[in-house]
Each structure stands twice: as C-alpha cells, then as structure tokens.
A = this chain, B = another copy of it.
Amino acid sequence: MKPLPRHGDPRCPAVRNLLQTIGSKWSVIVALHLSAGPHRFSELKRSVGGVSQKSLTTCLRELERNGLVERVVTPSVPPRVDYALTELGETLMEPLKALTAWAVRNECAVAQARARFEEAEEAEPEKQPAAV
C-alpha cells in the first residue's frame, strides 16, 4: 500500500521480527550471557536465574532459528549440549549492548520521568474534585 521501501521503514518485517525476538522476556539476557562464551543448558538456566526450562528452551530455539545462536551437541553419556553465539549473533551484540548501555546510563532519568508521571496522575482528580 505505502511505497516505503526505504530501509528505514519502521514497518519493515525484518525490524518487527528482530524486535519480536529480542523483545521476549529472556532472549537478551541469554544472548548477553552467551556473549561471554558458550554455555551449557543447565549453566544458562542457573546463571540467568528465574527462567523455567520451557521458557529457556523456547528462547534458545528462537535464537537458533534466527541464526543468532548455535547448538552444539556432544553425543556423550550423559549428552552434553552447548550453546554459543554464531558470528551473526556476535554482530548483533554491538547494537544490543549500545541499547542496554543506554538503559543503564538513563536509568535515573527514566525513574524521574516515572515519578513525575505518577505525580501528575494523582494530581488529576478532575472528575472527583472533592471526596472523603
């Protein structure tokens, strides 16, 4: 419909897809852990903390499906499975870390904005000017 083939098109499926992937609850955390080197499933589960097996599996599969993470199986007994960032995954880390760095740098500013917002909300009893 709209002739926006410019690569900056925010509706670009690729962008939506990436945001879908990294927007899920654990993917970025997992990816950041993996950027420090390969990890086994249970290692990840422990070090990430608070994630269920199912969610971690889903998350890793999704990362794997998009070519960001590689699953390396060592057919021993018991089986050993390592997860590692692919080269593609590595290249994502740079912009991703820039984003998380922004989050940390501006943590206070955001917190202040929230405080202001909530204050403004409470000071808005226009529909109930008098009560109690």
Whether A19 contacts B15 in the complex (CB less than 8 A), given A110-B67, A117-B64, comes out as: no
Give how many A residues have a beta carbon under 8 Å from the other chain's beta carbons.
Answer: 49
Tell me the A46-72 residues at the B interface (CB within 8 Å). Answer: 48-49, 64-68
- Stretch of A5-13, A73-81, A124-132 contacting B (4+ beta carbons < 8 Å): A5-13
Query: Which chain B residues border A18 with CB–CB below 8 Å?
Result: 99-100, 102-103, 110
List residues of chain B with CB within 8 A of the CB of A43: none
Q: Say whether A99 contacts B99, CB under 8 Å.
A: yes
| Chain B CB within 10 A, most for which of A19, A28, A94, A114 | A19
What B residues does A116 contact at CB under 8 A?
A: 67
**Bound Cα distance from A111 to B94, whole angstroms:** 20
Q: What residues of B have a CB within 8 angstroms of the CB of A23 in the complex? A: 19, 22-24
A29→B49 contact, CB < 8 A: no
A97-117 vs B: 1/0 string, CB under 8 Å? 111111110110110111011
Specify which chain B residues have a CB less than 8 angstroms from the CB of A17 in the assembled complex.
103, 110
